[in-house]
Structures are given as structure tokens and as C-alpha cells.
């Protein structure tokens, strides 16, 4: 992966691709609207090109996650240290995710976006997206977060879990392997550690090749999204989209920077400057999994976070620390309850908060991964699950925003945990070594 100056040049090229794709797609939609010609162009040109880039990024995720976590745990050495870092990490995840849901629910109660949706728009959206909503509902896991969910975290066959893309099971197996490496003699562990380091370096090299395609891939992904929905649909659901985006912006640009400055010792300006490539990658791919390699590189190269911290916290965060997803689910549930005229009191909203936090843990780190789980939260508080048809048309746009928040929360967690362990180099605590912030 590129460093420093070349990294900033890459960020500028990605931003240029983002703007080109967004402007081009919006212009095409406005001038010609949807039709067979545009659909075919998207289906056979821009979408395949965008998917090639996206798949190249996702392709390396499983081996990179396994190597990063196993090496991170092995690097910690002491199991008591692992337990301490694990508790800190989970506490931070729980804190920021709960804050995110709280922000979303407060905004929905203030703005009341569901009150402004007319019956005509509601009927049209239900008709347009009924089939896609039913398809998403069919993907909803029936066991939710019951006992079977937790049993499945311990895989019977780790290779099968990897093939099925079961990230929690892969993470658990990697944790156990890392623990095992600390329990065998150093001489016996050294070849395994060297092999894992080699595989990790290989994955990073492949990511470097994939990122060369990023500007083109990003332009194609954004063109496909904007050319399909334009701004007509966004305007119809303007209050809902605006409420969700404002909530994510508050959490992204106010809450997380304050926590990073207070607990991590890194000022907001340098934090965002060094995270820009990662954030642009997250925004354009709508995938925490696809952005994971870039997040790891940003943490280690830009902030000097040791691999044993970044390799443990960030892959775990990509699966369990879904701030944006939890906020979106809270906003969506209350919005749809308002649309259907179903009052949700304080008790019901506390249930929504708890379920949004828990369901965000089970959300897949791929585009649209939170929609199937959203149906479970809806039905729990008595809102019709098929109501997701009302919002599914703008989901990709909101998915881009919430993924950016998700991965930024992962980076923030790594910085905070590294500093709490005294492992964040002073040189990377930018402009904070003069006592401006508490140690």
C-alpha cells in the first residue's frame, strides 16, 4: 500500500473518480432518465468494472483477517493482556454504538420524518420495491441473536466457515490460533508466525495492486448508483434521508473526533487528514470488509499503531463495531413506525436501541448487509417487515454513509486502545505532546 505523499495522491484520484461518477450518473439520470439503454450500460459496463474492483478488495479479506488477528494475539503474548485489551475494545464498541443509536432516535423524535410521507408516495414506493423487499426479507436469519447465533461463533469446521464467509467464526478460530501460538515453545511457534506474516504481506501487496484500479472502480460504482436513482427518489424520502445523514454526520464529525482527542490524544484535523483514503474507500465501496485492508494500513502506517493492536481491534471492529449501521436501523425503525401510524413509547424505543446495537453485530460487512436484520428489529416492535420497501430505494446511498462511519469508528477504537496501552508512538499523537490534552 502507498504511504504518505503517494497515499494523499491516491486519495485525490479516488475523490476525482467519486466526483466524476457522481456528476456523470446524476446528469445521465436527469437528462435521459431510466430506460433499457441506461440499464444495459450499467449492467454490462459500469457495474462489472466496479464489481471487479470491489471483489479484488473483498478477495483478500478472509486470509488478511485470520493472519492479522492470529499475529495480533500472538504478539500480545500474555493472555491477561489479551483479556484486558479485549474488555477495553468491547467497552468502546458498546459505548460508541449506543451513542450512535441515541443520536439517531433523538433526531427522529424531533424531526418526525415519517409524518411527511404522502399516501401516494408510500403506495408508489411499496409497488416499486415490493419484490426487492421480499427478497431481502427472505435472507433474514430466523434465529436472530438467539443461542444458536452464539453457538455458530464456534465453528465445527473452520474451513467451511471461511468458505461461507462467516466472519465471526473465522475471527474466533484466529483468536484461538493466536492463543495457541503463545502456549507452545517460541522455537516451534516461530515458523508459523513467519508464515502468517508472509501471507499477510502478500495480501497487502495484492491490495496495492487493487488500489491502482480504485479511481476507475469508484467512478463506476458511483455512476451505477446515481444513474439509477437520481435525486427524485431522494427528494421523496428527503426527511428520512436527511435525518439519517445528519445523525451520521454528528457522530462522525463531533462524537468520534472528541473521543479520539480525549482518549486517543490525536486532534480532529490530523485524524481526518490521515484517514481520508480509508474514508473515501468505505464511502464508495459501501463495504466494511472491502475497506478492512485500507483501514489496517491506515492504522499502522499513518498512526503508528502496533500490529498486535491494529490486527486485533480493527478486524473485530469490522464485524462488531457498526456505529453507522446501528444508527441507521434506529432511524429506519422509528421512521417506518411513524409512516404506519404505530406509536412507540420510551420502553419500545429502548428495545429498539438495544436491538439495533445487537443486530449491528450480526450485520454483514457487505453492501446492503444490514437490511435483512432490520426486518427483525421491525417485527419485534410491531412494525410490518415489508415496510423496508419504502426505504430500500435509497439504501445504497445511506449504506455509503453508514459504512464510512463504521470504519472510522474502527480506526478510532484502534487509536484509543493503543494509547490506553501506552503503544501509540508520541510522534503520531499529533500536536498533543505539549500538554494540550490530558495523558
Distance CA 218, CA 236 (A): 26
Give the CA radius of gyration of the chain.
22
pLDDT-derived band of residue 397, with 50, 70 and 90 as boundaries? Answer: confident
pLDDT for residue 119 is more than 70: yes
Give me the CATH code for the 4-428 domain, please: 1.10.3860.10
User: What DSSP assignment string belongs to 137-158?
Assistant: HTTS-TTTTSHHHHHHTS-S-H
Which three cell numbers mark 111? 424531526
Q: For residue 260, what pLDDT band results from cuts at 50, 70 and 90?
A: very high
- How far apart are the C-alpha atoms of 242 and 235, rounded to whole Å? 10
Strand segments, DSSP code E, in 287-364 are none
Residue spans of the domains in the chain: they are: 4-428
Residue 181 CA to residue 138 CA, distance in Å, equals: 41
Q: What is the largest CA-CA distance in the chain?
A: 71
Q: What is the pLDDT of residues 55-98, one digit of tens each?
A: 888 888 888 888 888 888 888 777 778 888 989 999 999 999 99
- Is the CB of residue 333 less than 8 Å from the CB of residue 381? yes
DSSP 369-438: TTHHHHHHHHHHTT--GGGGGGTGGGHHHHHHHHHHHHHHHHHHHHHHHHHHTT-S-GGGSTT-TTTTS-
pLDDT grade, residue 225 (50/70/90)? confident
- Segment 231-247, tens digit of pLDDT: 666 677 788 889 999 99
pLDDT value at residue 405: 95
Per-residue pLDDT at 372? 66
CB 321 within 8 A of CB 96: yes
Q: Which residues contact 399 (CB under 8 A, 6 or more apart)?
A: 286, 367, 368, 370
Amino acid at each position: 500500500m502507498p504511504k504518505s505523499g503517494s497515499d494523499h495522491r491516491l486519495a485525490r484520484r479516488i475523490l476525482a473518480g467519486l466526483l466524476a461518477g457522481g456528476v456523470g450518473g446524476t446528469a445521465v439520470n436527469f437528462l435521459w432518465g431510466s430506460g433499457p439503454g441506461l440499464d444495459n450500460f450499467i449492467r454490462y459496463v459500469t457495474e462489472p468494472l466496479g464489481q471487479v474492483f470491489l471483489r479484488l478488495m473483498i478477495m483478500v479479506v478472509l486470509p488478511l483477517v485470520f493472519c492479522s488477528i492470529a499475529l495480533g494475539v500472538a504478539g500480545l503474548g500474555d493472555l491477561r493482556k489479551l483479556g484486558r485489551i479485549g474488555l477495553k475494545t468491547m467497552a468502546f464498541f458498546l459505548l460508541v454504538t449506543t451513542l450512535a443509536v441515541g443520536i439517531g432516535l433523538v433526531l427522529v423524535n424531533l424531526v418526525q420524518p415519517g409524518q411527511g410521507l404522502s399516501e401516494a408516495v408510500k403506495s408508489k414506493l411499496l409497488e416499486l420495491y415490493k419484490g426487492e423487499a421480499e427478497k431481502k426479507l427472505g435472507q433474514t436469519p430466523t434465529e436472530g441473536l438467539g443461542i444458536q447465533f452464539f453457538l455458530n461463533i464456534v465453528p465445527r469446521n473452520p474451513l467451511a466457515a471461511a468458505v461461507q464467509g462467516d466472519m465471526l467464526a473465522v475471527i474466533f478460530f484466529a483468536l484461538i490460533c493466536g492463543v495457541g501460538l503463545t502456549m507452545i515453545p517460541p522455537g516451534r511457534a516461530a515458523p508459523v508466525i513467519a508464515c502468517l506474516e508472509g501471507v499477510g504481506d502478500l495480501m497487502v501487496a495484492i491490495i496495492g495492486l487493487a488500489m491502482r484500479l480504485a479511481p476507475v472502480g469508484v467512478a463506476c460504482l458511483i455512476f451505477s448508483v446515481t444513474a439509477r436513482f437520481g435525486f427524485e427518489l431522494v427528494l421523496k424520502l428527503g426527511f428520512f434521508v436527511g435525518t439519517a445523514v445528519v445523525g451520521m454526520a454528528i457522530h462522525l464529525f463531533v462524537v468520534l473526533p472528541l473521543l479520539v482527542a480525549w482518549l486517543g490524544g490525536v486532534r480532529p484535523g490530523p485524524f481526518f487528514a490521515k484517514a481520508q483514503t480509508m474514508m473515501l474507500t468505505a464511502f464508495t465501496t459501501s463495504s466494511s470488509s472491502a475497506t478492512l485492508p485500507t483501514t489496517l494500513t491506515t492504522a499502522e502506517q499513518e498512526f503508528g499503531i502496533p500490529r498486535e493492536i491494529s490486527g486485533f481491534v480493527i478486524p473485530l471492529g469490522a464485524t462488531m463495531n457498526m456505529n453507522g449501521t446501528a444508527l441507521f436501523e434506529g432511524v429506519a425503525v422509528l421512521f417506518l413506525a411513524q409512516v404506519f401510524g404505530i406509536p412507540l413509547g420510551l420502553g419500545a424505543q429502548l428495545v429498539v436501541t438495544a436491538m439495533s446495537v445487537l443486530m449491528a453485530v450480526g450485520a454483514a460487512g457487505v453492501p446492503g448487509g444490514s437490511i435483512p436484520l432490520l426486518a427483525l428489529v421491525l417485527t419485534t416492535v410491531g412494525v410490518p417487515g415489508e415496510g423496508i420497501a419504502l426505504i430500500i430505494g435509497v439504501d445504497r446511498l445511506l449504506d455509503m454513509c453508514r459504512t464510512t462511519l463504521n470504519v472510522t469508528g474502527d480506526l478510532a477504537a484502534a487509536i484509543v486502545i493503543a494509547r490506553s496501552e501506552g503503544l501509540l508512538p508520541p510522534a503520531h499523537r499529533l500536536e498533543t505532546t505539549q500538554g494540550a490534552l490530558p495523558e
